[in-house]
Amino acid sequence: MSKLSGLLTILLLASGCVFGQFETAEVLGTIHDPSGSAIRSVSVTLRNEGTGVERKTASDDSGLYDFFNVPPGQYTITAELTGFQTFRTTNVAVDVNARQRVDINLQLGSVNQVVNVSSAAETLETDSSQHDQVINRQQIVELPLNGRNYSDLALLSTNVHRSPMSVLFSATGTPREGAFNVNGMRSTFNNFLLDGLDNNAYSPSNQGYSSQVVQPSPDALAEFRVITSNFSAEYGRVSGGVINAAMRSGTNQFHGTVYEFLRNTDLNATGFTFSPAVFKKPTLQRNQFGVTIGGPFIKNKLFFFADYEGFRQLQRYLNFDSIPTLTDRNGALPVPVYNPLNQTVYPANTPIPVSQLNPFAATVLSGLPAPNGPGRSNNYEALLLVRDYYDKYDAKLDYTINDKMSAFVRWSQRKDLQYYQPDLPGPSGGNGNGYIHAIQQQAAAGYTWTLTPGSLLDARFGFSHVLGGKVPPYLGGPSMQQLYGISGLPTSPDLTGGLNSQSISGFSQLGRQTSNPQFQNPTTFNPKVNYSLIRGRHALKMGYEFMAVRTEVLDINPLYGADTYAGQFSKPTCALLKLAANCSVASDAASYNLADFMFGLPSTIQLGNDLVTNLRQHVNSLYLQDDWRVNEKLTLNLGLRWEFATPIWERDNLWSNYDPATNTLVRASGGSLYNRALVHP
Mind listing the pLDDT tens digit for each residue in 450-500? 888 888 899 999 999 999 999 999 899 999 999 999 988 999 999 999 999
Confidence tier at 666 by pLDDT (50, 70, 90): low
- Render pLDDT for 348-359 as a digit per residue (tens, 0 to 9): 999 999 999 999
Could you please report the per-residue DSSP string of 259-290? EEEEE-GGGS---TTS-TTTPPPPPEEEEEEE
pLDDT of residue 120: 55
Identify the weakest region by mean pLDDT among 24-38, 52-66, 197-211, 398-412.
197-211
- 663 CA to centre of own chain: 40
Least Cα distance to 39 among 75, 92, 79 occurs for 79
Alpha-helical (H) ranges within 544-662 are: 589-599
- 336 CA to centre of own chain: 52
> CA-based Rg of the chain, rounded to a whole angstrom?
33
Distance CA 661, CA 658 (A): 9
pLDDT of residue 675: 47
- Name the amino acid, one letter, at 81: L
pLDDT of residue 165: 58
DSSP annotation of 642 reads E
Res 569 pLDDT > 80: yes
Contact 419, 433 (CB under 8 A): no
Please give the average per-residue pLDDT across 101-118, as a whole number: 77
Identify the weakest region by mean pLDDT among 8-22, 281-295, 576-590, 609-623.
8-22
Res 624 pLDDT > 60: yes
Res 205 pLDDT > 70: no
pLDDT of residue 678: 45
- Render pLDDT for 404-413 as a digit per residue (tens, 0 to 9): 899 999 999 9
Pairing of strands 86-94, 73-80: antiparallel
- 619 CA to centre of own chain: 20
Res 136 pLDDT > 90: no
Q: For residue 324, give Cα distances in angstroms to 236, 346, 370, 500.
A: 55, 18, 9, 18
In sequence order, the 6+-apart residues with CB closer than 8 A to the CB of 179 are 162, 163, 165, 166, 187, 211
Cβ atoms within 10 Å of 202's Cβ, excluding its own: 20
Contact 594, 627 (CB under 8 A): no
Question: Percent of the chain scored above 70 by pLDDT?
Answer: 88
pLDDT of residue 462: 96
Least Cα distance to 505 among 558, 563, 564 occurs for 564
Q: Which of 178-187, 265-274, 276-285, 315-324 has the highest mean pLDDT?
A: 315-324
Res 572 pLDDT > 50: yes
Mean of the per-residue pLDDT values of the chain: 85
Please give the average per-residue pLDDT across 36-45, as a whole number: 87
Res 501 pLDDT > 50: yes
Res 416 pLDDT > 60: yes
Of 239 and 303, the structure prediction assigns the larger pLDDT to 303
pTM: 0.82
pLDDT of residue 499: 94
pLDDT of residue 119: 60
Cβ atoms within 10 Å of 534's Cβ, excluding its own: 22
- Render pLDDT for 208-236 as a digit per residue (tens, 0 to 9): 567 889 999 999 999 899 999 888 898 88
pLDDT of residue 131: 86
Res 20 pLDDT > 60: no
Q: For residue 638, give Cα distances in angstroms to 67, 233, 632.
A: 20, 8, 17
Is-cis flag, bond preceding 453, omega within 30?
no
pLDDT of residue 278: 61
pLDDT of residue 652: 82
pLDDT of residue 32: 87
Distance CA 477, CA 126 (A): 65
pLDDT of residue 285: 93
Confidence tier at 657 by pLDDT (50, 70, 90): low
In sequence order, the 6+-apart residues with CB closer than 8 A to the CB of 613 are 552, 553, 554, 650, 654, 655
- 32 CA to centre of own chain: 48
* Residue 398, phi then psi, degrees to nearest 5: -120, 130
Contact 554, 642 (CB under 8 A): no
Of 12 and 167, the structure prediction assigns the larger pLDDT to 167
Of 112 and 572, the structure prediction assigns the larger pLDDT to 572
pLDDT of residue 677: 44
Res 42 pLDDT > 50: yes
Confidence tier at 2 by pLDDT (50, 70, 90): very low
- Render pLDDT for 436-447 as a digit per residue (tens, 0 to 9): 999 999 999 999
